[in-house]
Amino acid sequence: MKFQKELANLSSVSKHLIVKEAGHAIHIDQTQAVIEAIGSMLRMVQNLH
């Protein structure tokens, strides 16, 4: 977990999410969480421009 936090700290606009009940195939295990994270990222990028 330390490495993931260090990666997130490389950007001032990063977000580190921990999704319960998800393994390496998070897109299969917790599809809605992935959809919401992507949507959030897209809205953030759109607001930067």
pTM comes to 0.75
Please state the domain extents for the chain: 19-49
Identify the band that residue 25 occupies on the pLDDT scale cut at 50, 70 and 90: very high
pLDDT at residue 35 is higher than 90: yes
Strand, helix or coil at 5? helix
Question: Residue 49 and residue 31: Cα distance in Å, rounded?
Answer: 28
**DSSP states of 6-48 as a string?**
HHHTTSTT------TT--S-HHHHTHHHHHHHHHHHHHHHHHH
Give Cα 8 distance to the centre of its chain: 10
